[in-house]
Amino acid sequence: MELTARMIADMLGGVVDGDDNACVSTFAKIEEGVPFGLSFLANPKYTHYIYDTKSSVVIVARDFVAERPVAATLIRVDNPYMAVTELMNRFNDMTDKHPVGIEQPCHVGEGSVVEDNVYVGAFAYIGKNVRLGKGVKIYPQTYIGDNSVIDDNTVIYAGVKIYHDTVVGKGCIVHSGCVIGADGFGFAPLPDGSYRKIPQTGNVIIGDDVEIGANTTIDRATMGSTVISSGTKLDNLIQIAHNVNVGSNTVMAAQVGVAGSAHIGDNCVFAGQVGVAGHIKVGNRVTVGAQSGVPNNVDDGSTLMGYPALPGNSFARQAALLRRLPDLFERVNKIEKKQDK
Amino acid sequence: MELTARMIADMLGGVVDGDDNACVSTFAKIEEGVPFGLSFLANPKYTHYIYDTKSSVVIVARDFVAERPVAATLIRVDNPYMAVTELMNRFNDMTDKHPVGIEQPCHVGEGSVVEDNVYVGAFAYIGKNVRLGKGVKIYPQTYIGDNSVIDDNTVIYAGVKIYHDTVVGKGCIVHSGCVIGADGFGFAPLPDGSYRKIPQTGNVIIGDDVEIGANTTIDRATMGSTVISSGTKLDNLIQIAHNVNVGSNTVMAAQVGVAGSAHIGDNCVFAGQVGVAGHIKVGNRVTVGAQSGVPNNVDDGSTLMGYPALPGNSFARQAALLRRLPDLFERVNKIEKKQDK
Amino acid sequence: MELTARMIADMLGGVVDGDDNACVSTFAKIEEGVPFGLSFLANPKYTHYIYDTKSSVVIVARDFVAERPVAATLIRVDNPYMAVTELMNRFNDMTDKHPVGIEQPCHVGEGSVVEDNVYVGAFAYIGKNVRLGKGVKIYPQTYIGDNSVIDDNTVIYAGVKIYHDTVVGKGCIVHSGCVIGADGFGFAPLPDGSYRKIPQTGNVIIGDDVEIGANTTIDRATMGSTVISSGTKLDNLIQIAHNVNVGSNTVMAAQVGVAGSAHIGDNCVFAGQVGVAGHIKVGNRVTVGAQSGVPNNVDDGSTLMGYPALPGNSFARQAALLRRLPDLFERVNKIEKKQDK
């Protein structure tokens, strides 16, 4: 797949500054440029790389002024970051076609409905009464339990395990090793110290345009549904416990854990390894720093950091004071000596 | 599957307060009640929901006194929480039958023994000399390595990977994506900075009535056995390293990590994302708060919290003092000024 | 497989002290000795076990002096720990043969090349234009995406998922449930609060002699490659984000998370549950304590601990001062009272 600088500029509403016919066939970071590579410059910290990059074409801001000669052909656009995202999506659409058809051997249970343009890979296991909507892609070795629905144009990568009664919306992407709908962790303690399993009779409902990372686990509800709302993006190795409700367009980085029955709002951003306690309510537009532990309800728009989590500025202040703690002990020693004189 | 209020009350030794013939076909939380739903009221904080719930039947304590009219039929029992757990188990037994039989294609290696009433799903791989006890359920795409034993009535969900020589007891439940018996993480450093693998020649032994969550990993021992004792419940994404020994009826929430050769006692409760150092001994009935790091031996009956973990009350006190740290610096400033006058 | 004390001593250049013909057939920890077991004594803390161990043979240091009679036959060597590692490797080579051949059913896509001495287990899925080098072992239910290369003598255990265009070097070991090459977590925020996926067009490159633990995830690069260099060992449930670069002979314990575009040096040692921020540079020979969070660049040879991570000795000092915080508040109270008199 080759494109010229002229073709790209036309797609993006940009202007070519250099050779209209400069060809590119791959994307490359500006600092790791390669011949026939297309790079972009969005972060000013990387500006110095433009003078030596081996990439053939670089997308830059309209007002970029080179201080030295640049070998690469430039394409000037309003927003280089969005332009390259747009371009990568178009490129991807052109090159990265998912397969279509039913590979054998696979297992499709009775009562299941497979709509048009679907791919079911070899060794996939589709239970009974499952619906695979139009354009759904089920990669090899995937398991879809009875009565589940995978709605139009959703892609389920190899080896995903989806338990019975799960609903996955349209246009979702679920990565390998993800487990959706396993039993929530519910046990009633008995007088002899042992535990009795509380059956997990609910299910999991995933909205539209959700992406779920590799080896992430989302448990089914004890009663009712565990819900991941539309537009939310979960990274790898995340734990979502039973009866959790995650709002729309919320983003969680890898290894976050959300305990049972917590409600997380819309448009939140959680950094990696955050923990959220059970049965709490986290508002909308909440940002939580890496490795923080959130023990209580959180208001809309908050920024939290630390363990237990504090408002971001309190955390920074506390961390600064902690660094001054040795000095504080020293000062108190001196004060005491002076007082004792 | 439909049950009347009368049938349920008879099962539970309860008393119907309302319509004996009120029908239910599903469980629902009291705050998310649905027609034909069965709810329960155990936590007084939820009492206000009972006046508006759409559920047809609600299980309440014998001494519950309604302050306003309640539309739902009530069933009065001694302990609503245990009663509903009991009922969910009975309901589950009635409705949630695991399959029986050997689906094709699957692979069963030579010398393997499959007892009565077993299910082996399609694309499952059973190695050589494996024993699958009575009523064992092996869901699709599961791998059971050579010489392993899966004892009676254990359920292994889709895609579990169990390495050779593993022993899993009776009545266990192992959720999708769980990996049991992979090599422990053991390497001998060589003078040139590289590492030589130490073969992991031991195995994993799991007791009876153990439940293991999705994508949890339990490594085989270097020598001897990694042991999870009977009645213990592990949530999702937990790491149990080589030669760890976990006692009976211990409960670990998601994303806990236990390092090599640690011994954990009976009846412990670990919250999510806890870390336990290697080669230490944690006693019986130890409770550890979320995200805590346990670096040293712990006495029976302790409650720990924090990083590094402190006794729970010390942690709370420390957290309170940390919040007062800005004030303390201020006070020391004032003292110094006064002294300097 | 049985060996005599004499045979073992000859292999290791050691001296038999006891019965040349004492037989062993398994390894056992000295404190868990069994008849026909071979144990070793390297850590002086375990010396007292040698007098009662049931193992038939124990490897000890040349200068070991028994203070009481020892029933076991001893083999005296220069370095018992390295000797037993060596021996376990030899034993392993003799007993633990991987299978050879192509089991059916499996799927091998067009254009794929399978070299000599390869094993492909049942239900494995090899995409198009894949190369499996000499002696490669692909266990059942594994997925290898199009255009990937698995180089000579690498072992991929059951159920591993490797996305397209991945390169895995020679002599690697990849454990079950590991996902290599899933999409990095990249999204461009749109004005309406939703996110647009940034296609992940790069790949993952793994060097030689790398071992990767169960359920670990390594994401493909946005552009270019995510790289794990030769000799590095990753434990279970680790997250390596897109465009991360990990150096040679670096060791990471379970549940570590490394955020996008971080560069980690050679010969580092990360304990369990460590988090590393994105876009930072961690030098060579850096040691990071368990559960620490590394927010910034780190110099070669540093030792870090804590959240946010401090140099190891500062962390120990801070932890000590924190324990004295209640006392400090008390002292400041007294000073104030005295001052106010």
Chain A residues close to B139, C-beta within 8 Å: 143
Q: What mean pLDDT is predicted for residues B304-333? A: 91
Residues of chain A with pLDDT > 90: what percent? 84
* Tens of pLDDT, residues B188-203: 999 999 999 999 999 9
- State the alpha helices, DSSP H only, in A237-288: none
Is the pLDDT at A250 greater than 80? The verdict is yes
Q: With a CB-CB cutoff of 8 Å, which residues 310-339 of chain B face chain C?
A: 317-318, 321-322, 324, 328, 331-332, 335, 338-339
Q: What mean pLDDT is predicted for residues C214-233? A: 97
Q: Which of A279-288, B29-38, C89-98 has the lowest mean pLDDT?
A: C89-98
A313-318 CB contacts, 8 Å cutoff, 24+ apart: A315/A289, A317/B326, A318/B322, A318/B325, A318/B326
Q: What mean pLDDT is predicted for residues A177-193? A: 95
Strands of A215-292, DSSP E: 217-218, 225-228, 233-234, 239-240, 245-246, 251-252, 257-258, 263-264, 269-270, 275-276, 281-282, 287-288
**Both structure tokens of B90:** 């009975």
- Residues A1, A91: Cα–Cα separation, whole Å: 8
The whole-angstrom distance between B217's CA and the closest CA on chain A is 12
Q: What mean pLDDT is predicted for residues B217-223? A: 96
Contacting residues for B322 by C-beta, under 8 A, at least 6 apart: A318, C322, C325
Q: Look at C215 and B183 and tell me if their CB atoms are within 8 Å.
A: no
Nearest to C318 by CA among B320, B332, A308, B322: B322
pLDDT of residue C1: 66
- Residues A142, C290: Cα–Cα separation, whole Å: 35
Is the pLDDT at A95 greater than 80? The verdict is no
Distances (CA, A) of C89 to A210, B198, C12, C59: 46, 7, 12, 15
Is the pLDDT at B10 greater than 70? The verdict is yes
Q: Tell me how many degrees the CA angle A166-A167-A172 measures, rounded to the nearest 5.
A: 120
Report yes or no: C202 and C242 within 8 Å, Cβ to Cβ. yes
Nearest to B156 by CA among A182, A123, A216: A182
- Residues C252, B257: Cα–Cα separation, whole Å: 13
Is the pLDDT at A91 greater than 90? The verdict is no
Is the pLDDT at B107 greater than 90? The verdict is yes
Task: Report phi then psi at C144, rounded to 5.
Answer: -120, 115
Quote the crossing angle between the two packed helices A5-12 and A80-95, to the nearest 10°. 110
DSSP result, C27-41 = E--GGG--TTEEEE-
Q: Could you tell me if B255 lies within 8 Å of chain C, comparing CB atoms? A: yes
Is the pLDDT at C222 greater than 70? The verdict is yes
Report residue A21 CA to chain centroid gap.
37
Q: Could you tell me if B163 lies within 8 Å of chain C, comparing CB atoms? A: yes
Q: Could you tell me if B198 lies within 8 Å of chain C, comparing CB atoms? A: yes
The HSE-up count of residue B101 (CA atoms within 13 Å, CB side) is 6
Q: What mean pLDDT is predicted for residues A220-224? A: 94
Is the pLDDT at A295 greater than 90? The verdict is yes
Q: Could you tell me if C280 lies within 8 Å of chain A, comparing CB atoms? A: no
Q: Tell me how many degrees the CA angle A329-A330-A333 measures, rounded to the nearest 5.
A: 85
Nearest to A245 by CA among A282, A291, A274: A282
Report yes or no: A38 and A55 within 8 Å, Cβ to Cβ. yes
Q: What mean pLDDT is predicted for residues C182-189? A: 95
**How many A×B Cβ pairs under 8 Å?**
170
Report yes or no: C84 and B199 within 8 Å, Cβ to Cβ. no
pLDDT of residue B93: 76
pTM of the full structure: 0.93
Secondary structure element (H or E) that encloses residue A88, with its range: helix A80-95
Question: What b/e sequence results for B206-243 when a residue is b if at least 16 CB atoms lie within 10 Å of its CB, and e otherwise?
Answer: bbbbbbbbbbbbbbbbbbbbbbbbbbbbbbbbbbbbbb
pLDDT of residue A1: 66
3-state SS assignment for residue B90: helix
Q: What mean pLDDT is predicted for residues B274-299? A: 97
Task: Report phi then psi at C23, rounded to 5.
Answer: -105, 140
Distances (CA, A) of C181 to A139, A178, B69, B161, C172: 15, 14, 59, 20, 16
The HSE-up count of residue A70 (CA atoms within 13 Å, CB side) is 24
Is the pLDDT at A35 greater than 80? The verdict is yes
Q: Look at B291 and A307 and tell me if their CB atoms are within 8 Å.
A: yes
Q: Which of A290-294, B85-89, B247-251, C300-304 has the lowest mean pLDDT?
A: B85-89
Nearest to C305 by CA among C294, C292, C295: C292
Quote the crossing angle between the two packed helices C325-340 and B312-323, to the nearest 10°. 50
Residues in chain C: 341
Strand order across the B101-102 sheet: B101-102, B119-120, B137-138, B155-156, B173-174, B211-212, B233-234, B251-252, B269-270, B287-288, B303-306, B309-311
* Best mutation target, C104, C106, C107, C333, to test chain A (most A CBs within 10 A): C107
pLDDT of residue C251: 98
pLDDT of residue B90: 82
pLDDT of residue C87: 86
Q: Tell me how many degrees the CA angle A48-A50-A52 measures, rounded to the nearest 5.
A: 90
- Residues B68, B52: Cα–Cα separation, whole Å: 10
Residue B94: pLDDT band with limits 50, 70, 90: confident
Residues of chain A with pLDDT > 70: what percent? 99
pLDDT of residue C96: 64
The whole-angstrom distance between C141's CA and the closest CA on chain A is 7
What are C270's strand-pairing partners?
Answer: C252, C288
Is the pLDDT at A187 greater than 70? The verdict is yes
Question: What b/e sequence results for C155-177 when a residue is b if at least 16 CB atoms lie within 10 Å of its CB, and e otherwise?
Answer: bbbbbbbbbbbbbbbbbbbbbbb
Measured between CB atoms, which of C177, C201, C224 is closest to A215? C177
Q: What is the average pLDDT score of chain C?
A: 95
Is the pLDDT at A93 greater than 80? The verdict is no
Q: How does DSSP classify residue B298?
A: B
Task: Report phi then psi at C129, rounded to 5.
Answer: 55, 35
* Tens of pLDDT, residues A37-82: 999 999 888 999 999 999 999 999 999 999 999 999 999 999 999 8
DSSP result, B6-47 = HHHHHHHT-EEES-TT-EE-EE--GGG--TTEEEE--SGGGG
Helices and strands counted in chain C (H then E) = 4, 40
* Tens of pLDDT, residues B12-39: 999 999 999 999 988 889 988 999 999 9
Q: Look at A215 and B339 and tell me if their CB atoms are within 8 Å.
A: no
Q: What mean pLDDT is predicted for residues A183-203? A: 94
Residue C340: pLDDT band with limits 50, 70, 90: confident
**Both structure tokens of B137:** 């359920």
* Tens of pLDDT, residues A96-132: 689 999 999 999 999 999 999 999 999 999 999 999 9
Report yes or no: A284 and A247 within 8 Å, Cβ to Cβ. yes
* Best mutation target, A192, A195, A255, to test chain B (most B CBs within 10 A): A195
pLDDT of residue A230: 98
Q: What is the average pLDDT score of chain A?
A: 95
Residue C2: pLDDT band with limits 50, 70, 90: confident
Residue A67 neighbours by CB distance under 10 Å = 9
pLDDT of residue A96: 65
- Residues A276, A292: Cα–Cα separation, whole Å: 8
pLDDT of residue C26: 86
Measured between CB atoms, which of A29, A249, A335 is closest to C193? A249
**Both structure tokens of B283:** 């006693």
Report yes or no: A203 and A197 within 8 Å, Cβ to Cβ. no
Task: Report phi then psi at C69, rounded to 5.
Answer: -65, 145
Chain A residues close to C223, C-beta within 8 Å: 26-29, 32
pLDDT of residue A86: 86
3-state SS assignment for residue A132: strand
Is the pLDDT at C93 greater than 80? The verdict is no
The HSE-up count of residue C322 (CA atoms within 13 Å, CB side) is 25
Report yes or no: C275 and C253 within 8 Å, Cβ to Cβ. no
- Kindly name the residue from A48, A175, A242, A279 that is annotated as catalytic: A242
- Residue in this structure with the two tokens 């004996």, named with its chain if needed: B20
Residue C90: pLDDT band with limits 50, 70, 90: confident
Q: What is the average pLDDT score of chain B?
A: 95
pLDDT of residue B88: 85
* Tens of pLDDT, residues B110-167: 999 999 999 999 999 999 999 999 999 999 999 999 999 999 999 999 999 999 999 9
Q: Could you tell me if B257 lies within 8 Å of chain C, comparing CB atoms? A: yes
Q: Give all chains having 3 or more CB-to-CB distances under 8 Å with chain C.
A: A, B
Q: Could you tell me if B125 lies within 8 Å of chain C, comparing CB atoms? A: yes
- Residues C238, A334: Cα–Cα separation, whole Å: 48
- Kindly name the residue from B48, B98, B107, B242 that is annotated as catalytic: B242
Q: Tell me how many degrees the CA angle C57-C59-C64 measures, rounded to the nearest 5.
A: 115
